[in-house]
Structure 1
Amino acid sequence: MKILITGSGGREHALISKLLQNSRVSKIYCAPGNGGTAKIDKCENVPFHSIHELADFAVKEGVSLVVPGSEDLLVAGIADVFIEKKIPVLGPHKDAALLEGSKCLAKDFMKKYGIKTADYRNFNSLDLAAQYLEECEYPIVLKADGLAAGKGVLICKEKPDALEALNQLMAVRQFGDAGNSIVIEEYLEGLEASILSFYDGKTILPLLSAKDHKKIGEGESGPNTGGMGVIAPNPHVNECVMDIFKTEIMIPTLKGLEMEGLQFSGIIFFGLMITDKGVYLLEYNLRMGDPETQAVLSLMDSDLLDLIESTVNSSLDRVTLKWKKGYCCCAVMASGGYPESYKKGFPIEGIENCESDVYIAGAALQGDTLITSGGRVLNVVATAQDLASAREQCYKDLSLIKFKNSVYRRDIGGTPL
């Protein structure tokens, strides 16, 4: 069986590693991949970026399953093209992908189907948005409507901060066309949780919960990033929270998808906020999260390929997932300066000394040497019977890896180590 995975991050490295545990997989193509995926047996990086290039390649090579990793191709309609080619794809068609590609549309969907979410207003006019900010209670949250690599959410404590954030989004165009429209949203105080799930058009099957750490700095300080680390399972997602999530968020989402004709075979990522007033939905993603995927898959005892095939064959109602006992701590090592400007091209040393799994994200292979090529460079993923031990092993291995200007948070899952 040949599989095509699109993307170039740690998520794709982890997906490939997990899928290759199934002996039926003879070859995985990763487009475009990275220095880590280039070193995996049975995996080949392919230099294709456009949907039609990927489709032509998949047909030529006899690919029998496509797993899009990143969101941009999903929003551009990659699933529609592969469905036309009669190649199974784990991803939403273009209309459904807008639940991630447009935060305005997603918020309206939540409101329409009674899904508990923060109060909000959508704007496509800078002037009207500025007027609204004059009367808001603070803190307030501004979100770019379109895709912004996980960085388009700005929490503003005071009105001057909000007006400056608005200017950056809609005038300076910090995130380009993603700022054509924005959401201004009530600030919720609480604990965040991530729940990845598989969806086959009639059943949503949630995976183990996780806790992401989005800010660049310790104590959740500084600007948002694509994610600086994850623990799983999330200690705050107990049985009661999970029941509330299923009743007030997951089931109404399923009903809404059916009512809107948005059935597909793919992933639904629920970004939650657990507050004193209940469990709220912050956002949908329609693909595996990064770095949540790296953490959750490390604890999955079930076969990932079997799960994907059950999804594309609409038989999730017959699946019971198995999980390893214990906890995972995943920390991201990044280039100094990320998420803003940073230098690259530095050799990476010490990975071979680690006991934990190390997934490459922003690094390229030059000869036999990994060289930094992105903001989030690699993920160290440690598992243990308890969270404290998983954290200890993760940070022990992080200390063994070296490259110039490296940075990482020392408080993933708790106080700084």
Structure 2
Amino acid sequence: MRVLLVGGGGREHALATGIAASPKLSKLFCAPGNAGIAALAECVAIGAEDITALVAFARAQAIDLVVAGPEAPLTLGLADACAEAAIPCFGPTAAAARLEGSKTFTKEVADAAEVPTAAWARFEDADAARAYIQERGAPIVVKADGLAAGKGVVVAETTEEAEVAIADFMESRVHGAAGASVVIEECLMGEEISFFALCDGTHALPFGAAQDHKRAFDGDAGPNTGGMGAYSPPPAFTDALRDEVMAHFIRPTLAEMARRGTPFRGVLFAGLMLTARGPKLIEFNVRFGDPECEALIPRLDSDLLEALHAAATGRLAETRLAWRPLHSMVVVMATKGYPGNYTKGSTIRGLDAAAAIPNTHIFHAGTATKDSAIIATGGRVLAITATGTTLRDARDTAYAAIDAIDWPEGFCRRDIGWRALG
């Protein structure tokens, strides 16, 4: 199979690693890719949101499967354009991708499918949103309705914090048009879990769970980020809970999407809160999580490419997945200043020494090659991943690899996995 992988982050490097291991692969391209992906695929200089150029390239290269990594090309219609060109695409149509592109749409689908979720209300007027916050009190959650690169959520401990979020989202437009309307939710308490299921429009197949760490600093302090680390599997997510989520969250959502005439194909990412009253839906995403994907792929003991192709072509009913009996941990190394302002272009050394540590995977997220050196080009730059027979083993290996890396301009959290390890 000739495959075009779209994206250039740590998630895409993990997907490229899994796809490249498939005996069914004949050629892997990645657009635009990064310095790490370049060792596995031919990187092409096409932006992930340039739908016209991506499909033209896929036609010219006789691509058998397009795999969308990030959500933006999906909300812009990559899968629709691939369908018009008769090219299978792993990822939902633009209409189905609204499950991530609109918080309101997700809530409406969840309510229609009777998926347990937080109480919510939508606002287009900032003063009305403030009045609702004062009526409901804190803690309370404020979400930009549209796509905000994983940063459009504020868990406000006070009504004052919530009102600042309203001003930032709706009036200052810190996330652009994504904040023109907001969804305000009750604050759910418990453990947060990321659960993934491959979907082919009709059938769904569990693809594992992970626990992400969103805050920038140790002790879950600091601002929300795109994710500073993850581990899999989370001890709190049992097989019984997996079956419950499939029965009451994933399959009803698939049925509701099909009923609306927008069947969902790709990966459905359910952000869940394990509350005292059972699991509740926080959000749906329409792509693999990042850094959760980096935690899941090293544990997979099946052909990833075959599974993705089965989802894209409606053949999941005949597909089975096997998993290695391993724990994995991902620790993200980010440029100092992230998620605020940061400087690009610093040199990263020691990656070969880190990669030589057994059971370690160095996934590149925001890197490029300059004068034979690896430089940082983004906020989240590396996803250092390790596996082990226990989570503690995986953690120790991941941090040993980090200690082998020479990058003074970078930082990471030192407490990834603290909930499970105590």
Give the TM-score normalised by the residue count of structure 1.
Answer: 0.97
> Residue 45 of structure 1: CA displacement?
3.2
Structure 1 counterpart of 2:65: 65
Q: Which of 403, 410, 414 matches 2:407?
A: 403
Q: CA deviation at 1:247?
A: 2.6
Partner in structure 2 of residue 43 of structure 1: 42
Q: 1:337 to 1:42 in 2, by over 3 A?
A: closer
Alignment: residue pair count: 416
Q: What is the rounded CA distance, in whole Å, between the counterparts of 1:65 and 1:315 in structure 2?
A: 14
Cα distance in 2 between the residues matched to 1:405 and 1:132: 43
Q: Which residue of 1 aligns with 2:274?
A: 274
Deviations 1:200-228 (A, max 9, x none): 01111111211111111112221111111
The residue that corresponds to 2:195 in the other structure is 195
Distance 1:383 1:335, change over 3 A: same
Correspondence for 1:413: 417
SS at match of 2:95: helix
Q: Where do 4+ consecutive residues of structure 1 move more than 3 Å?
A: none
**Distance in 2 between residues matched to 1:320 and 1:55, nearest whole Å:** 30
Partner of 1:111: 111
Q: How far apart are 1:298 and its partner, in Å?
A: 0.6
- How many Å separate the matches in 2 of 1:195 and 1:41? 27
Aligned to 1:310: 310
Residues 362 and 385, structure 2, Cα contact 8 Å, conserved in 1: yes
Counterpart residue type for residue 374 of structure 1: G
SS at match of 1:377: strand
> Equivalent residue for 1:363?
367
Deviates more, 1:27-36 or 1:273-282: 27-36
- Please say which of residues 46-55 and 104-113 is displaced more in the overlay: 46-55
In 2: Cα distance, 1:44 partner to 1:187 partner: 42
Please show how residues 55-204 of structure 1 align to structure 2 within 5 Å: 55-204=55-204
Verify the 8 A CA contact 1:37 1:45 in the aligned structure 2.
no
Secondary structure at 1:268's aligned position in 2? strand
Q: What is the aligned partner in structure 1 of residue 52 from structure 2?
A: 52
CA distance in 2, matches of 1:127, 1:414: 40
Distance 2:280 2:42 in 1: 40
Q: How much does 1:112 deviate? A: 1.7
Residues 1:322 and 2:328 aligned together:
no
Q: Which amino acid aligns with 1:213?
A: H
Query: 1:13 aligns to what?
Result: 13
Q: Which residue matches 2:290? A: 290
CA contact (8 A) 1:26 1:42 kept: no
**Is the 2:194–2:211 contact (alpha carbons within 8 Å) kept by the matching residues of 1?**
yes
Secondary structure in 2 matching 1:132? helix
Contact 2:145 2:182 in 1 (8 A): yes
Residue pair 2:118, 2:188 contacting (<8 A) in 1 also: yes
Equivalent pair of 1:364/1:373 in contact (CA under 8 Å): yes
Post-superposition shift, 1:164?
0.8
- RMSD across aligned C-alpha pairs, in angstroms? 1.4
**Which residue of 1 is the match for residue 381 of structure 2?**
377
SS in structure 2 at match of 1:283:
strand
Deviation at 1:244, TM superposition (A): 2.4
Aligned residue for 2:202, secondary structure, equals coil
Contact 1:34 / 1:45 at 8 angstroms: preserved in 2?
A: no
Q: Is the 8 A contact 1:199 1:265 kept in 2?
A: yes
Distance 1:305 1:154 in 2: 36
Range with greater deviation from structure 2 (407-416 or 387-396):
407-416
| Structure 1 residue 358, shift from structure 2 partner | 0.1
Structure 2: how far apart are the matches of 1:410 and 1:264? 38
Q: Normalising by the residue count of structure 2, what TM-score does the alignment of the two structures yield?
A: 0.96
The superposition leaves residues 338-377 of structure 1 with CA deviations (integer Å, 9 ceiling, x where unpaired) of 0110111111011101221101011111132110100000
Measure how far apart 1:238 and its partner are: 1.1
Whether the aligned pair in 1 keeps the contact of 2:156 and 2:162 (CA below 8 Å) is yes
Residue 28 in structure 1 maps to residue 7 in structure 2: no
Q: Which runs of no fewer than 5 residues in structure 1 stay unpaired? A: none
